[in-house]
């Protein structure tokens, strides 16, 4: 199978989606910076969007997948705004954005 044909096929989309998902997961585990973790979450959400869009074209042949993606995008925007507000709050309290330092509640 030609690589160009593969790129436009369902498998190509799913492959990119899978890679993005796991790179995002790795970022969430690997990063200590809270903003870095947020970047990872955005990657994961995008990977999910890719899968929805790909299946809506190649399997369902309907727009439902696109609508779900629309909602994912909107939720991601809300999530980013709230997460960044929390990060700024953390920074004001502890002078750091290291997620490991956010342990005020532990003791």
Partner 1 sequence: MTTGLKIVLLLAELLCVSSAILVTFHPNILHAAVALLFAFLGVAVMFVYAGADFIAGVQVIVYVGGVTVLVLFAVMLTHWLYKVTLRDVRKKLIVPIVLLVILLVPAVYKSLVELASSSQNIAPERVAEFAGSAKTALIGQALLGNYLLPFEAITILLLGALVGAVGLARPK
Name the residue nearer to partner 1 (CB basis): 62 or 107.
Answer: 62
Reduced DSSP (H G I as helix, E B as strand, rest coil) percent helix, strand, coil of the chain, to 5: 80, 0, 15
Exactly one of 74, 104, 105, 107 binds partner 1 (CB under 8 A); which one? 74
Q: Nearest distance from residue 105's CB to partner 1, in Å?
A: 16
Interacting residues with partner 1 between 76 and 95 (CB under 8 A): 76-82, 84-89, 91-92
Counting residues that bind partner 1 (by CB under 8 A) gives 75
Q: How far is CA 11 from CA 5, 7, 14, 93, in A?
A: 10, 8, 5, 47
Instruction: Tally Cβ neighbours within 10 Å of residue 52.
Output: 20
Q: Does 41 bind partner 1 (CB under 8 A)?
A: no
Rg of the chain taking only CA atoms, in angstroms:
18
66 is a site residue for partner 1 (CB under 8 A): yes
102 forms part of the interface with partner 1 (CB under 8 A): no
How far is 14 from 51, CA to CA, in rounded Å? 6
List the interface residues with partner 1, window 17-36 (CB under 8 A). Answer: 17-27, 29-33, 35-36
Count of other CB atoms within 10 angstroms of residue 73: 12
Rounded to a whole number of angstroms, the minimum distance from the CB of residue 79 to partner 1 is: 8
């Amino acid at each position: 199978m030609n690589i160009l044909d593969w790129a436009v096929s369902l498998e190509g989309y799913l492959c990119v989606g899978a890679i993005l998902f796991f790179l995002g997961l790795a970022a969430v585990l690997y990063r200590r910076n809270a903003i870095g973790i947020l970047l990872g979450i955005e990657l994961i959400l995008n990977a999910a969007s890719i899968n929805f869009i790909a299946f809506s074209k190649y399997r369902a042949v309907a727009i439902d997948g696109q609508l779900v993606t629309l909602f994912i995008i909107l939720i991601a925007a809300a999530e980013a705004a709230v997460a960044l507000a929390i990060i700024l709050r953390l920074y004001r309290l502890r002078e750091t954005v290291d997620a490991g330092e956010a342990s005020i509640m532990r003791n």
